[in-house]
């Protein structure tokens, strides 16, 4: 019994003496806020990848935008990021939350794009119906003869059918 008790005591001692690799920084960004920051950074990177000039045109510097929005500084973000990254499972969980948010946003955007495309198709079909009425076709052109002062015949093409009526 003493051997079993001493073995358990040694195991518990080893497990409880786990030393943190990285100490908790002084201005640690809370986990929820860090997930929001990671989400915004992912969106900004996607924008930069899809349309590189859009951020420059609007004079948006992604890191500065994040720092101002969340009222943090670069050192605080870097230290918090390293701290959370030191615990793989926790960091992976944070990234999983970001991915879920992006996927849910993607579903919303995809449905909006479908609605917009349907509206565009309807608008194009309406334009297709109205445009032939406004176009002047060859079947509407009529030739009439006119007489000049010198009694010579001259052919004139009228393109507007309504003038002939």
Same domain, 151 and 130: no
In a domain, 91, yes or no: yes
* 22 has pLDDT over 90: no
Same domain, 125 and 156: no
Residue-averaged pLDDT of the chain: 77
90: tokens are 């926790």
Same domain, 160 and 98: no
Same domain, 109 and 71: yes
In a domain, 94, yes or no: yes
- Mean pLDDT in residue range 78-89: 93
Contacts of 136 (CB under 8 A, 6+ apart): 159, 160
- Mean pLDDT in residue range 115-121: 82
Same domain, 77 and 140: no
Same domain, 129 and 80: yes
Query: How many domains does the chain contain in total?
Result: 2
In a domain, 44, yes or no: yes
Same domain, 99 and 64: yes
In a domain, 71, yes or no: yes
pLDDT for residue 113:
85
Chain position carrying tokens 């509206």? 119
* 114 has pLDDT over 70: yes
* Confidence (pTM): 0.58
Q: Which domain holds residue 165?
A: 136-165
Same domain, 86 and 161: no
* 164 has pLDDT over 50: no
Least confident window among 22-26, 38-42, 56-60, 115-119: 56-60
Cα–Cα separations (whole angstroms), residue 14 to 3, 7, 10, 17: 17, 11, 6, 5
Same domain, 76 and 58: yes
CB distance 37 to 77 below 8 Å: yes
Please write the tens of the pLDDT for every residue from 31-77: 999 999 999 999 998 888 888 788 777 788 888 999 999 999 999 99
CB distance 143 to 156 below 8 Å: yes
Same domain, 165 and 87: no
Same domain, 36 and 116: yes
Same domain, 82 and 145: no
Q: What is the dihedral of CA 61, 62, 65, 66, to 10 degrees?
A: -160
In a domain, 99, yes or no: yes
pLDDT for residue 90:
93
Q: What is the dihedral of CA 120, 124, 129, 135, to 10 degrees?
A: 150
């Amino acid at each position: 019994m003493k051997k079993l008790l001493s073995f358990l005591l040694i195991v518990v001692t080893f497990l409880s003496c786990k030393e943190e690799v990285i100490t908790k920084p002084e201005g640690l960004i809370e986990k929820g806020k860090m997930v929001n920051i990671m989400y915004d950074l992912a969106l900004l990177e996607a924008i930069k990848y899809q349309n590189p000039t859009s951020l420059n045109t609007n004079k948006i510097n992604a890191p500065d935008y994040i720092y101002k929005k969340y009222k943090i500084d670069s050192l605080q973000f870097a230290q918090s990021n390293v701290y959370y990254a030191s615990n793989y499972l926790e960091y992976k969980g944070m990234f999983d939350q970001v991915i879920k948010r992006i996927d849910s946003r993607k579903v919303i955007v995809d449905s909006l794009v479908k609605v917009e495309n349907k509206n565009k198709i309807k608008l194009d079909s309406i334009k297709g119906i109205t445009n032939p009425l406004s176009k002047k076709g060859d079947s509407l052109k009529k030739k009439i003869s006119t007489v000049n002062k010198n009694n010579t015949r001259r052919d004139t093409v009228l393109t507007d059918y309504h003038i002939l009526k």
